[in-house]
Amino acid sequence: MLNYFALGILCFVVLTLFYGVIVIHDIPYGIAKKRDHPHQDAIHVAGWVSLFTLHVLWPFLWIWATLYRPDRGWGFKQIEEEQARERSEIDELRLELDHLRQRLDAQEASAPSLKAEQPARAQYTSGNTQGGQD
């Protein structure tokens, strides 16, 4: 009688561990399904592959499943917005620099004493500095 009881407990433990491993391997797929991930089928298949490779891929599947969120997608929209804002700031700075150069040219044209310094200014604005060569 005790032998059958021990066999029953052994079968219960083995089945519970087997079921537990299957449930754990399916967690990334559950996350992907909940978030309506566009690659949820691939995550599910990769989860089964990971099950047969002793869960080597499982941490990467977890990361892959959690990267996507329905409200912000992959999260690159914010980066694109920041880059667009930086480009507009650079364009504004270029316009301001051009405006300042025009004002400086107008002032140099009106002042005869500054015309002698104009070749030195042209040397620095064109990038043709001699860098310590005498």
Q: CB–CB of 71/35 below 8 Å? A: no
| Residue-wise pLDDT tens digits, 3-13 | 999 999 999 99
What type of residue is 129?
A: T
Res 111: pLDDT: 79
Res 134: pLDDT: 45
Q: How far apart are CA 53 and CA 61, in angstroms?
A: 13
Q: How is residue 69 written in tokens? A: 């969120």
Q: How far apart are CA 42 and CA 44, in angstroms?
A: 5
Tally: H helices and E strands in the chain: 6, 0
Q: What is the mean pLDDT of residues 79-83?
A: 77
| Residue-wise pLDDT tens digits, 53-69 | 888 999 999 999 999 88
pTM: 0.52
